[in-house]
Amino acid sequence: MKIGLAGLPMSGKTSIFNMATRAKAQTRDYLAQTDEINNGIIKVPDARIDKLATIFKPKKTTFATVEFTDIPGISNAESKSASKTLANIRSCDAIMLVVRLFPGEEVPHIHNKIDPAADLDELSLEFIFSDLEMIMNKIERLNKEMKAGKKPEMVREMELMERLRKTLEDNKFISTVELTEEEEHGLRGFRFLTQKPLLLIGNCSDDQFLSDSDSAVQSFKTACQERGWSPMLISAATEMEISALSPEEEAIFLEEYGIKESGRNRLISEAYRLLNYISFLTVGEDEVRAWPLQKGTSAQKAAGRIHSDIERGFIRAEVVACKDFFEKGTMVAVKAAGLSRLEGKEYIVEDGDIINFRFNV
């Protein structure tokens, strides 16, 4: 799963990328607009895995991972680099849109002032236009095909495309359209920008982070609310410094400043939630591991995440909720208490299930 950091130029995307991945990618200075895309893979912090590793003392401990990609700013729809940027965003599974809230005259800005609501209008228009263009092309192709011979599925598809067109022309995102499972499936190939899971990051100063009454913060939150998007505040400059510390130093720093959770951890867990992901766990002497999985996945499909042989030869899944395991302390005690379940292939895996697959190949 890949999460794209997108937004207007100079909003702090690369700073947030550095904070999330502990990387040291070049942030923007006045002179250089970098066209570079930064990619980084980060492990998803998981206290359950830490705990299981101390119990099983495995040779290897593996956390779930999320891939972040930092995309240069969208400047304007006319330029070539803008369409390249939008294509890069299209290839992501979810978008984190970075909006600048922090003040500072010295940094050039698209409206020459800090105006999160206007930034959001501009970004959403770029996305809407880009999707609309794809839909218009599709409608044109369908019209041609229908002239050559009208088939019922073409009529259905045309009806859907017209519905999406109307939505976008009304300035709304495709994610607001109710789709049947079949329609949803049919649209997957388009990778519409306005259909992707979306998280709004307000990049603010330390003062703004602590003050709810700041006007930029207010305007950002209201604009998100109006559109039904979830907002999150991060002070990228400070968090980038925090993430350059060693984990021990970081813990001391956070404690000293009374910060409950680092921005990096908040960002990663939000990313997980945004993608509707859970983790199932496997344990043993060789490896303790978290496996990311879309919520609602069956046990047999989950087995396929480990190996296609296990999916194919699936017999049963032996499932123990890790909460029960931590309470009882050992697998023997869990079984004695009747808390180990044998589940079939249709069983829907839950977050924190410790699973041992029985299979036959």
Ligand X SMILES: Nc1nc2c(ncn2[C@@H]2O[C@H](COP(=O)(O)OP(=O)(O)OP(=O)(O)O)[C@@H](O)[C@H]2O)c(=O)[nH]1
Q: Which residues lie near ligand X (CB under 6 A)?
A: 7, 9-15, 27-29, 33, 72-73, 102, 104, 107, 203, 205, 235-237
Smallest gap from residue 213 Cβ to ligand X (A): 19
Q: Among ligand X, Mg ion, none, what does residue 9 contact (CB within 5–8 Å per kind)?
A: ligand X
Q: Among ligand X, Mg ion, none, what does residue 352 contact (CB within 5–8 Å per kind)?
A: none
Q: Among ligand X, Mg ion, none, what does residue 340 contact (CB within 5–8 Å per kind)?
A: none
Smallest gap from residue 355 Cβ to ligand X (A): 40
Smallest gap from residue 201 Cβ to Mg ion (A): 14
- Cβ(101)–Cβ(217) below 8 Å: yes
Q: Among Mg ion, ligand X, none, what does residue 202 contact (CB within 5–8 Å per kind)?
A: none
Q: Among Mg ion, ligand X, none, what does residue 90 contact (CB within 5–8 Å per kind)?
A: none
Distance of CA 299 to the CA centre of its chain: 23
Residue with Cβ nearer ligand X (231 or 352): 231
Q: Residue 358's beta-bridge partner residues?
A: 316
Task: Please tell me the count of residues contacting Mg ion according to CB under 5 A.
Answer: 2
Residue with Cβ nearer ligand X (69 or 203): 203
Residue with Cβ nearer ligand X (17 or 280): 17
Distance separating alpha carbons of residues 319 and 338, to the nearest angstrom: 11
- Cβ(42)–Cβ(64) below 8 Å: no
In the chain, where does DSSP find H-type helix? 13-21, 47-56, 80-90, 116-148, 152-169, 181-187, 206-210, 215-227, 236-243, 247-256, 263-274, 299-306, 308-312, 322-328, 331-336
Query: How do strand 65-70 and strand 60-62 relate by DSSP bridges?
Result: unpaired
Q: Among ligand X, Mg ion, none, what does residue 261 contact (CB within 5–8 Å per kind)?
A: none
Residues 14-43 that bind Mg ion (CB under 5 A): 14
Residue with Cβ nearer Mg ion (34 or 175): 34
Q: Which stretch binds Mg ion (CB under 5 A): 13-21, 39-47, 96-104, 309-317?
A: 13-21
Smallest gap from residue 239 Cβ to Mg ion (A): 15
Q: Tell me, what amino acid is at 191?
A: R
Distance of CA 256 to the CA centre of its chain: 30
Q: Among ligand X, Mg ion, none, what does residue 195 contact (CB within 5–8 Å per kind)?
A: none
Is residue 169 packed enough to be buried (19+ CB in 10 Å), middle (13-18) or exposed (0-12)? exposed
Residue with Cβ nearer ligand X (167 or 235): 235
Q: Among ligand X, Mg ion, none, what does residue 21 contact (CB within 5–8 Å per kind)?
A: none
Query: What are the tokens at 340?
Result: 């180990």
Q: Per CB under 5 A, does 85 bind Mg ion?
A: no
Distance separating alpha carbons of residues 95 and 28, to the nearest angstrom: 21
Distance separating alpha carbons of residues 359 and 317, to the nearest angstrom: 9
SS3 103: coil
Residue with Cβ nearer ligand X (27 or 298): 27
Q: CB under 8 Å to 339, separation ≥6 — which residues?
A: 320, 321, 324, 328
Residue with Cβ nearer ligand X (81 or 175): 81
Smallest gap from residue 247 Cβ to ligand X (A): 22
Q: Minimal CB distance to ligand X: which residue?
A: 73
Residue with Cβ nearer Mg ion (14 or 205): 14
Strands of 60-62's sheet in order across: 60-62, 287-294, 277-282, 353-359, 314-321, 341-343
In the DSSP assignment, the letter for residue 348 is B
Question: Residues in the site for Mg ion, rule: CB under 5 A?
Answer: 13-14
